[in-house]
Amino acid sequence: MLSLSVTWIGAVYEAALDDGPEWPPHPGRVFCALVAAAEEGSPDDDALRWLETQPPPVVLASKSRSSRLPTFVPTNQVAATASNRVGRTNGRRQWERSHPFRPSVHLVWENADPAEATLAQLDRMARRVPFVGRSTSQAMVSVAGVAPLDATDLDRHEPGGNRSERLRVPYPGYLEALRTAFEAGAPARSVNRWADYGPPASTRAPEVPVAEGPWSDLVTLGFDRGTGLDGRGAVLVATAFKKAVLERMGKDFSHEDLALVHGHHDGHRRQCAFLALPFVDGKYATGNILGVGLALSRELSQEVRRGLLRLLGFDRDRPRLERLRVPGLTSGNGLALHHADGRDTIDPSRWTQPAAVWATAYPIALDRFPHRGDALSDHVVTACVLAGFPRPEVQVLPSPPLRGTPLLRGSDLRRRRDVPQRPAMHALLRFPAAVRGP
């Protein structure tokens, strides 16, 4: 038995494969990290040559969510300048990122029987590895001769398996091939070899039913990094966002189409929902609002949908909504709005992945006043069904369920001062099947 464990310090794994994120990490990539940490001509080489002759390992990894981090990096092109200085230009790049639910991966060679000296040499080499993936993916790596203890709830990717994926793997001669490619200036991928992987062929993952909610899309826009608004201003922010969108649309759309956006119409469910996106449920969560979102109903007409997407910047030939002013919270021209840039809070998948249990990031404000003796949970169930969701079981909570949730006062829930304060509460919603958000 031989197990190699990788734990990412920042809980983020940055590595790309065919213009998409690489998850789980390929055994070939981990082997390359060992080669980079090895001292050429030392006993490290003997340990690596032993390892490359072993069959492909089992990979144990959790599920992961992906994102992209846009950035600018210097290119090799040189632009002409008025001075005699070299004019390096910057090019736009996007780093593929994986956010595993557990930031640890184990490679397990179940039938390996390394000598004690080989095992110790591999472990010493592994502990010198500073990162796995891009250099920003700092990691701790270790090797042991026993099965990992914390791998019982991880997904198992077996060589062969049901052959649903292909991973790069080491092979006899891989060490020399990598060093020869390096000396020739060729990338490591030029000497790749692949193996079929997948879940164990004898097992088949049960199909998990997913119920579609009333929303088909969630479009998000974020403020500048380092900028956030008081989380207690959620109603003010969402209302200002809604007003800004309607003002921009008013010139080109009929009153009937605008009614689908602002919601003041009869005979239809709500077609659009304007959201403030708070930073919650994290170790350092502050509750600050980092961006805004617009949820679009499945019933929304294509003409209105296209108009909203153009307004929010998905048509390069038309100007988009670039700034948001929130009376009482912003000054001057307001805050700049950007598309999702890799931050969890303004990543649409943060709020839309299917789940059977949902927790409130903001309290639920009831749309009516309960009568004496009414169960608040019954009103939440009714509201969910009217909105187009399956009927949930509702547990009303005495305090916020997520870390960092801002504590809203009654006045924070009012759109205007002349309207009465609506009853509100935090809750857990348990649906009979996974439901796609928001």
What digits encode the pLDDT tens for the residues 123-141? 999 999 999 999 999 999 9
> Is pLDDT at 78 greater than 70 in this prediction?
no
Asked if residue 375 is part of any domain, the answer here is yes
Residues 392 and 430 placed together within one structural domain of the fold: yes
In a domain, 204, yes or no: no
Give Cβ neighbours of residue 32 (< 8 Å, ≥ 6 apart). Answer: 178, 188
How big is the CA angle at 140 (ends 113 and 27), to the nearest 5 degrees?
Answer: 50
Burial category of 411 from C-beta neighbours within 10 Å (exposed 0-12, middle 13-18, buried 19 and up): exposed
Q: What is the pLDDT of residue 278?
A: 95
* pLDDT at residue 84 in the model: 54
Q: Examine the domain organization and report whether 130 and 247 are in the same domain.
A: no
Residue type, 37: A
Q: Is residue 86 part of a domain?
A: no
pLDDT value of position 314: 67
CA angle, 295 then 299 then 304, to 5°:
70
Residue type, 160: G
Share of the chain above pLDDT 70, in %: 92
Together in a domain, 183 and 217: no
pLDDT (tens digit per residue) in 219-251: 899 999 889 999 999 999 999 999 998 888 877
Shared-domain flag, residues 115 and 190:
yes
Tell me how many degrees the CA angle 336-338-339 measures, rounded to the nearest 5.
165
79 within some domain: no
Same domain flag for 215 and 177: no
pLDDT at 258: 81
pLDDT grade, residue 302 (50/70/90)?
confident
The answer to whether residues 120 and 264 belong to one domain is: no
Tell me the pLDDT band of 216, cut-offs 50, 70 and 90: confident
Ranges 183-192, 256-265, 370-379, 396-405: which has the least confidence: 256-265
0.85 surpassed by pTM: no
| Structural domain includes residue 418 | yes
Residue 165 lies in a domain: yes
Q: Which amino acid is at 423?
A: P
| Domain C-terminal end among 198, 230, 247 | 198
- Whether 77 is in a domain gets the answer no
Question: Residue 249's beta-bridge partner residues?
Answer: none
Q: Do 425 and 313 share a structural domain?
A: yes
Mean pLDDT lowest among 157-166, 314-323, 402-411 = 314-323
The pairing of beta strand 104-109 with beta strand 215-222: unpaired
Same domain, 162 and 242: no
> Does residue 82 belong to any structural domain of this protein?
no
Among 198, 226, 253, where does a domain finish? Answer: 198
Question: What is the per-residue pLDDT for 252?
Answer: 77
> pLDDT class for 144, splitting at 50, 70, 90?
very high
Weakest mean pLDDT among 112-126, 323-337, 345-359, 406-420 = 406-420
Look up tokens 């996106």; give the residue. Answer: 277
What domain count does the chain have? 2
Mean pLDDT (the chain, rounded): 87
Domain final residue, candidates 165, 198, 231: 198
What are the start-end ranges of the H helices in 108-152?
116-126
- Is 81 a residue whose pLDDT tops 60? no
Which range marks the domain in which residue 426 is found? Answer: 211-435
| More confident site: 76 or 310 | 310
Q: Residue 187: is its pLDDT beyond 70? A: yes
304 and 171 co-located in one domain? no
Tell me the CATH number at 182: 3.30.70
Dist CA 27 CA 140 (whole Å): 16
Instruction: Tell whether 56 and 124 lie within a shared domain.
Output: yes
Same domain, 136 and 13: yes
**Are 306 and 163 part of one and the same domain?**
no
